[in-house]
Amino acid sequence: MTQPSSRLRALVVGSGYRVRNAFLPALSLQNSHVEIVGIHSRTYANARAAGERWGVEAIEDPRSLRPGDIDLALVSVTVTNNLAVLKSLAHLAPGAALVIDTPGVGRLDDLGRLALFRRWKQIRVGEDFMNMPQYRLVGDAIRSGALGEVSRVSMSQMGYRYHALALARSWLGLLPPSSARSQRIPGGVNISYRFKGGKVGEVNEPYRQGEGSFAVTGAKTTLTGHPMGNEIRDAPGARLVRLEGGAGLTGFAIDGLETPTTIGLPYHATLAAMGLDDDSEFNLLRIDGLSQVISSLWNADPVNSRYHLEDAVADNLVSFAARGIPWVPAAAIRLRGAGR
């Protein structure tokens, strides 16, 4: 999908927390590119309530829409209901794009029905965690070569399940894991993923939203940081830092590199003023990330265009297996259609 000459017509499916506090706000940020033509939910009253504050019409039955009526469907329902929803939207799929919440498929017996997804012209996975602006900035620094070849990504108490694996992979060129070794600890599991070329991704729990730390080890330097850019004392090498102004958080920067590296938050004040049920700083940054996923349908994007549905499903399966099995041959869980 190239840069739209007119606004894309979007249908939102779902009415729960994620739709109200992520998908609808993220779409509002792309208002110049996307027009929400309707919202559908299994319970019509819930769809009407979710869409009311955004001026979006509730649609009782998506079968009332004809092929060509929409350019984009965004689905955020419980993962076990995804296939039923996609069946109800199948007549709209040809020529339209799909954005679906992670991980796409949640049951093993659903893997044989991935053809339902492949009817759509384009698919994006709503993996907003790895698209949070501070993590995009780290990814930009890695791809610029500022750290040298990266050999290890470590996360301590800041990554969880398949979201953590997706983030680690995004910083390692989306390499798929070849194996996973785990150790159960009080309150969680520590997992070490191995990748081609001896690269390592470590995820140490327990997870604490917006807390913890990460380290990306490159041949030239190590980049460390708190997930919200807070200070980490005595951190070696380059560091992720917060940028703040009179209204609070304005962006992130990486100190300690030869070339200054920053990312602004043009949507942050707008999101903060929306009065969302979840207006935490963490959630506002996730919405920014989801907006990035959506805009990757027409803007060049080094990660989302290559992170396929099959990647998200495999990451879910591998991370789930690693939580219960001490060693997992992750390479055997790759799916046809996944990235490199």
pLDDT in tens, 128-145: 999 999 999 999 999 999
Whether residue 137 is found in the same domain as residue 80: no
pLDDT of residue 108: 72
- Asked if residue 156 belongs to a domain, the reply is yes
Sign of CA dihedral 331, 137, 252, 220: positive
> pTM of the prediction?
0.96
DSSP E strand boundaries for the chain: 8-13, 34-40, 72-75, 97-101, 122-126, 150-156, 177-185, 188-195, 200-204, 213-218, 222-225, 238-245, 248-255, 261-264, 327-328
**Residue 7 DSSP code:** P
Strand, helix or coil for residue 78: coil
Whether residue 166 is found in the same domain as residue 259: yes
Angle at 306 between CA 263 and CA 136, to 5 degrees: 15
Whether residue 146 is found in the same domain as residue 218: yes
Whether residue 158 is found in the same domain as residue 261: yes
Whether residue 103 is found in the same domain as residue 139: no
Report the distance separating Cα 56 and Cα 127, nearest Å: 24
**Residue 30 DSSP code:** T
CA 31 to chain CA centroid, nearest Å: 20
Final residue belonging to a domain, choices 247, 265, 283: 265
Report the distance separating Cα 179 and Cα 290, nearest Å: 29
pLDDT in tens, 143-197: 999 999 999 999 999 999 999 999 999 999 999 999 999 999 999 999 999 999 9
**Residue 239 DSSP code:** E
Sign of CA dihedral 126, 326, 332, 340: positive
- Asked if residue 335 belongs to a domain, the reply is no
Are the C-beta atoms of 147 and 234 separated by less than 8 Å? no
pLDDT of residue 89: 97
Q: How many domains does the chain have?
A: 2
pLDDT band at 5 (very low <50, low <70, confident <90, very high): low
CATH of the domain at 207: 3.30.360.10
Whether residue 138 is found in the same domain as residue 114: no
Final residue belonging to a domain, choices 265, 284, 316: 265
Cis peptide, bond prior to residue 67, ω within 30 of zero: no
Whether residue 139 is found in the same domain as residue 113: no
**Residues 312, 314, 320, 325, Cα dihedral to 10°:** -160
pLDDT in tens, 35-93: 999 999 999 999 999 999 999 999 999 999 999 999 999 999 998 888 899 999 999 99
pLDDT in tens, 296-337: 999 999 999 999 999 999 999 999 999 999 999 999 988 776
Tokens of 276: 């969302």
Angle at 167 between CA 166 and CA 171, to 5 degrees: 115
Task: Characterize 49-78 residue by residue with b for buried, 16 or more Cβ atoms within 10 angstroms of its Cβ, and e for exposed.
Answer: ebbeeeebebbeebeebeeeebbbbbbbbe
Q: DSSP string spanning 269-326?
A: HHHHTT--S---HHHHHHHHHHHHHHHTTTS--TTTTT--HHHHHHHHHHHHHHTTSS
Tokens of 10: 């979007």
Q: Bridge-partner residues for 189, per DSSP?
A: 184
Whether residue 58 is found in the same domain as residue 116: yes
Domain containing 27 equals 8-126
Is residue 2 scored above 70 in pLDDT? no
- Asked if residue 300 belongs to a domain, the reply is no
Are the C-beta atoms of 76 and 23 separated by less than 8 Å? yes
Final residue belonging to a domain, choices 242, 265, 288: 265
Whether residue 165 is found in the same domain as residue 203: yes
Angle at 304 between CA 287 and CA 278, to 5 degrees: 10
Q: What is the mean pLDDT of the chain?
A: 94
pLDDT in tens, 211-233: 999 999 999 999 999 999 999 99
Whether residue 17 is found in the same domain as residue 113: yes
- Asked if residue 179 belongs to a domain, the reply is yes
pLDDT band at 114 (very low <50, low <70, confident <90, very high): confident
Tokens of 219: 């041949």
Whether residue 87 is found in the same domain as residue 24: yes
Whether residue 239 is found in the same domain as residue 164: yes
